[in-house]
Amino acid sequence: MASIDGALLDFKRLDRLATGDTAIHRLDPRAKVLATLVFVVTVVSFGKYEVTPLVPFLIFPVAMVALGNLPVAYVIKKIALLCPFALVVGIFNPIFDREVLVQIGSLGITGGWLSFASIVMRSILTVGAAIVLVGVTGFPGVCLALERIGMPRVFAVQLLFLYRYIFVLTDEGSRMERARKLRSLGKKMEPGIFGSLVGHLLLRTWQRAERIHMAMLARGFTGEFHTRRDTRFGGRELLFLLGWSTLFIILRFLNLSQLVGSLVTGISP
Amino acid sequence: MSHHIVEVRNLRHVYPDGTVALRDVSFRITHGESVAIIGANGAGKSTLLLHLNGFLTPTAGEIRIGDYPLTKATLPEIRRTVGMVFQDPDDQLFMPTVYDDVAFGPLNLGLSGTDVEQRVKDALEKVGAGHLQEKPPYNLSGGEKKRVAIATVLSMSPDILVMDEPTDGLDPHARRQLMALLREFSHTRIFTSHDLDMVLELCSRVIILHEGEVRGDGPPLEIFRNDELLARCRLEKPLSMQGCPVCGGKVS
């Protein structure tokens, strides 16, 4: 379970990055959440064979990483961790969709490969944007923004609790698994034991969650989460949101990659 | 300053499964007192503490904090007045950084900006943890966690401090540091503990709970010299009051 412990610790690092103090960090979370939302919607709205128009969208996560002073290698590693899911989703496309759509010299690229590449590209973009968003805003900040935008408070608080308890749950789980391993002498886990383990985990987590909740109540928690920075949605936020949104919409309808390509090669599309 | 008073009258608590945790508990703790509530496992200490902050509702009896009876209406004010430090600091530290955690209470009190900053700074300074403020709580040592947990409560400027097993799980040095810190506070302090040597050093009064009832209430030396009472309540003298096992020296 050491690997899970490690991954978890690494995930907590993302939260810690959010305490940075760059211009991007200081923006009101709403501006960042909304811009990311527009980004995700535009990226997802592309047709299934489109790959090249997606490339310019990399500018958003890259710019945020650079301006937010996030460690590049760390962000790439986090994205790579989630890539296998996209690979699994897209891997059958090249097998089923064999119609050749693009001919480069003697090499024919089938629709399957194109849609596969498109899926992978889109996952990288959306997952990257989400990770970067948490990295420059922090999860509590994101929840706060969602609530201020209009999500019911109950959901916002639910999300926050979920986030807290994931750490608690995995901690407890890895400790129990370690205890089982030490006494099972290398035997595999039987289904019955697994059931009992999960049951216990649920009860223990429940108890701990209750204690955490008590500690929160003891310090005046009323269901409202406050963050340290008291920000407001001002001119800079509006500029940030409108600027990025406009760029995304332009990129949506204008294939920049092709444009640049044709400028370089001198062939009009 | 009557708001530092804790009064418990004929408190009784029965858990939903029928377990009688507290039969009939009464005591009055006045301003600035440092009181230890001791007792064997299952004596009802934790149940009692959970009542002082309104987490559990009495089956019968009454609790008054300062001038107010503990009711739903007075609960927010009482929770500010009574600072509760839990046994496991991991339960208490749930924000991404130490700073955020200490600021959690003041922000909930409706403070903002420099007020919060000042309170966080003061609280961390007081427990000697100013240098930890940007660290995430899970990276701290046990002693540091405990001190930060106390700071999260101090930042709300409570009048009464309630601590469940403050020295539990600390190494000797961290325990000493914590005791020195607790000695400085002028708050009304209520501890539960199995660390009777700490009780002897820090407390001016000891209340013994056994089977949900108060069996002893008095100055520590008086209580700890009563061998018969201690044995009946499954307790022992503090080590510092027992004869030295090596040289055989006896303390009177």
pLDDT mean across residues, chain A:
83
Contact assessment for residue B12 and residue B59, using Cβ atoms and an 8 Å cutoff: yes
- Rg (alpha carbons) of chain B, rounded to whole number: 19
Question: Which residue in chain B is spatially nearest to A208 when comparing CA positions?
Answer: B91
Q: Which chain B residues in 134-163 lie under 8 Å from chain A, judged by CB atoms?
A: 134, 136, 138, 152-153, 156
Q: Count of CB contacts below 8 A, A vs B? A: 73
The dihedral sign for the CA sequence B76, B80, B86, B91:
positive
Single-letter amino acid, residue A190: E
CA distances from residue B67 to A171, A203, A219, B179 in whole angstroms, order as listed: 43, 39, 20, 30
- Give the closest of A164, A217, A222 to B94, CB-based: A164
Report helix, strand or coil for A98: coil
Question: Which residue in chain A is spatially nearest to B92 when comparing CA positions?
Answer: A215
Q: What pLDDT, on a 0 to 100 scale, did the predictor assign at position A46? A: 87
Q: What pLDDT, on a 0 to 100 scale, did the predictor assign at position A2? A: 44
Gap between the Cα atoms of B133 and B139, Å rounded: 12
Contact assessment for residue B220 and residue B199, using Cβ atoms and an 8 Å cutoff: yes
CA distances from residue B135 to A3, A138, A209, B130 in whole angstroms, order as listed: 23, 15, 23, 10
CA-closest candidate to residue B206, choices B32, B91, B35, B9: B35
Question: Which residue in chain A is spatially nearest to B102 when comparing CA positions?
Answer: A219
Give per-residue pLDDT as tens, A38-75.
Answer: 999 999 898 888 888 888 899 999 999 999 989 999 88
Q: Is the pLDDT of residue A218 over 90?
A: no
Q: What pLDDT, on a 0 to 100 scale, did the predictor assign at position B223? A: 93
Tokens of B110: 């409706």
Q: What pLDDT, on a 0 to 100 scale, did the predictor assign at position A51? A: 85
Q: How far B215 CA sits from the closest chain A CA (Å)?
A: 29
Q: What pLDDT, on a 0 to 100 scale, did the predictor assign at position A228? A: 58
- Interchain contact, A214 vs B94, CB within 8 Å: no
- Selected for mutation to probe chain B from A228, A229, A232 (highest B CB count within 10 Å) is A228
> Across A45-142, where does the E strand assignment appear?
100-104, 107-110
Gap between the Cα atoms of A127 and A39, Å rounded: 11
Banded pLDDT at A183 (limits 50, 70, 90): confident
Q: How far A120 CA sits from the closest chain B CA (Å)?
A: 32
- Give the closest of A140, A215, A220 to B91, CB-based: A215
Quickly tell me which residue has 């709205």 as its tokens. A45
Contact assessment for residue B89 and residue B150, using Cβ atoms and an 8 Å cutoff: no
The dihedral sign for the CA sequence B70, B76, B80, B85:
positive
Gap between the Cα atoms of A174 and B88, Å rounded: 19
- Interchain contact, A215 vs B84, CB within 8 Å: yes
Q: How far B121 CA sits from the closest chain A CA (Å)?
A: 14
- Interchain contact, A19 vs B97, CB within 8 Å: yes
Q: Please report, rounded to a whole number, the percentage of residues in chain A having pLDDT higher than 70.
A: 90
Most confident range (mean pLDDT) of A84-98, A159-173, B223-237 is: B223-237
Q: What pLDDT, on a 0 to 100 scale, did the predictor assign at position B202? A: 92
B53 near A CB under 8 A: yes
Find all residues with CB under 8 Å of B12, minimum gap 6, and list them: B20, B22, B23, B24, B25, B58, B59, B60, B61
Segments in chain B below pLDDT 50? 1
Q: What pLDDT, on a 0 to 100 scale, did the predictor assign at position A200? A: 87
Q: Class for domain B2-91+157-241, per CATH? A: alpha beta
Q: What pLDDT, on a 0 to 100 scale, did the predictor assign at position B39? A: 92
Residues of chain B contacting A226 with CB distance shorter than 8 Å: 104, 107-108
Terminal-residue alpha carbon distance, chain A: 54
Q: Is the pLDDT of residue A226 over 80?
A: no
- Which is more confident, A175 or A227? A175
Task: Give this complex's ipTM.
Answer: 0.80
Banded pLDDT at A5 (limits 50, 70, 90): low
B111 near A CB under 8 A: no
- Count of CB atoms situated within 10 Å of the CB of B179: 17
Q: Is the pLDDT of residue A3 over 70?
A: no
DSSP per position, B132-174: GTTS-GGGS-HHHHHHHHHHHHHTT--SEEEEESTTTT--HHH
- Interchain contact, B112 vs A220, CB within 8 Å: no
Tokens of B98: 């130490």
- Interchain contact, A226 vs B109, CB within 8 Å: no
CA-closest candidate to residue A168, choices B101, B90, B143: B90
> Across chain A, where does the E strand assignment appear?
100-104, 107-110
Find all residues with CB under 8 Å of A261, minimum gap 6, and list them: none
- Interchain contact, B96 vs A208, CB within 8 Å: no
Give per-residue pLDDT as tens, A127-143.
Answer: 999 999 989 988 878 88
A230 near B CB under 8 A: yes
- Interchain contact, B152 vs A217, CB within 8 Å: no
- Give the closest of B55, B109, B112 to A230, CB-based: B112
Question: Which residue in chain B is spatially nearest to A207 when comparing CA positions?
Answer: B91
Quickly tell me which residue has 């901690």 as its tokens. A171
Q: Is the pLDDT of residue A187 over 60?
A: yes
- Interchain contact, B55 vs A230, CB within 8 Å: no
Domain spans, chain A? 2-254
Q: Rounded to 10 degrees, what is the CA torsion of B22, B28, B29, B35? A: -40
- Interchain contact, B79 vs A228, CB within 8 Å: no
> Across chain B, where does the E strand assignment appear?
6-14, 20-29, 34-38, 60-65, 68-69, 82-85, 160-164, 188-192, 205-210, 213-218
Q: What pLDDT, on a 0 to 100 scale, did the predictor assign at position A267? A: 62
Phi and psi based region of residue B128 (left: phi greater than 0; alpha: psi -120 to 50; beta: remaining): left
Q: Which chain A residues in 1-20 lie under 8 Å from chain B, judged by CB atoms?
A: 9, 12, 15-16, 18-19
What is residue A220's DSSP assignment? T
- Count of CB atoms situated within 10 Å of the CB of A47: 9
Q: Which chain B residues in 65-84 lie under 8 Å from chain A, judged by CB atoms?
A: 76, 79-80, 82-84
Residues of chain B contacting A162 with CB distance shorter than 8 Å: none
Per-residue burial over A160-184, b = 16 or more CB atoms within 10 Å of its CB, e = otherwise: bbeebbebbbbbbbbebeeeeeeee
Residues of chain A contacting B108 with CB distance shorter than 8 Å: 219-222, 224, 226
Q: How far B188 CA sits from the closest chain A CA (Å)?
A: 17
Q: How far A19 CA sits from the closest chain B CA (Å)?
A: 8
Q: What pLDDT, on a 0 to 100 scale, did the predictor assign at position A1? A: 39
Give per-residue pLDDT as tens, A95-119.
Answer: 888 788 777 777 878 888 888 888 8
Banded pLDDT at A203 (limits 50, 70, 90): confident
Residues of chain A contacting B97 with CB distance shorter than 8 Å: 16, 19
